Chain A
C-alpha cells in the first residue's frame, strides 16, 4: 500500500503568477483534502474533494481551486499568487466514512517572492 505523495517538494514563484500542486492519494482512499500551513501555525483547511467534486471549503478565496481525478489523485491551483501564500501545502487522503483518520503527504513548500 503506497502512501500519500506530493509534487513538487519545493517551489519558488513571484507575485501574480499561478501555481499547480499535485497529490496522489493513498491506495483505496477516495477523499482528499488540502491544507495550508503557514510558518508557526497549524494546518488550515482549504477544501476537500470526494468523487471528483468539491464537498467542503475553508475560508480561502476563489483563486484557490482544485481538481480530483478518477484515480483519486488531486491538484491544487492558486492564481494571482500573493506573498502571504508562502506556506507548506499539505494533501491528506482518507476513505469516505473514516473521518477520524487522515493520512498526510510530506507537503509542498511554496515561496512567493
Chain B
C-alpha cells in the first residue's frame, strides 16, 4: 500500500504559467516532506522541503504548501520555465532516522 501518492503521472504547462504538482500521504507520523527533481541519467536533486509544523515554505520560484488535515501537499512553480521539465518526486519521512518514502513521480513538461 503506497504511503505517498502522486496521482498525476504527467503535467503539461505553458512557459510563464504556474505549475502545480500534487502529493497525498497516508501516514500521519511523517514529519518532513520533500520535493526532488530528476533529469534523465541523473540522480534526484533536492528542491525544497517543509516541516510538519509549517504550512508553507518558499524558495524563489518554488513554494510548497502543506495541508496536514487533508494529508496533502503541493509544489507550485511560478513562473514555469522550459528548464523545469523533469520528473518531480514527492517524498516524506518521519522523525529520527527513518528513511524517505517516495511517490511514483510526476513528469512535468513546460512548453515554450
Contacts and interface: CB of A to CB of B under 8 A. Distances in A.
Contacts of A70: none
Contacts of A42: 4, 6, 89, 91, 102-105
A50 B41 CA distance: 27
Given A100-B49, A100-B93, A101-B49, A107 B99 contact: no
A50 B98 CA distance: 13
B102 A43 contact: yes
Contacts of A41: 104
B69 interface: no
B32 interface: yes
Interface string B87-112: 00101010111111111110000000
Interface residues of B, number: 27
Interface string B8-39: 00000000000000000000000010101000
B83 interface: no
Contacts of B60: none
A56 B98 contact: yes
B59 interface: no
A112 to B, nearest CB: 20
Given A42-B89, A55-B97, A106 B102 contact: no
Nearest to B93: A99
A100 B103 contact: no
A8 interface: no
B101 A106 contact: no
A102 interface: yes
Given A43-B89, A43-B102, A56-B99, A104 B49 contact: no
Nearest to B105: A42
B43 to A, nearest CB: 3
Interface of A: 4, 33, 35, 40-45, 48, 50, 55-56, 58, 90, 92, 99-107
Interface of B: 4, 6, 32, 34, 36, 41-46, 49, 51, 89, 91, 93, 95-105
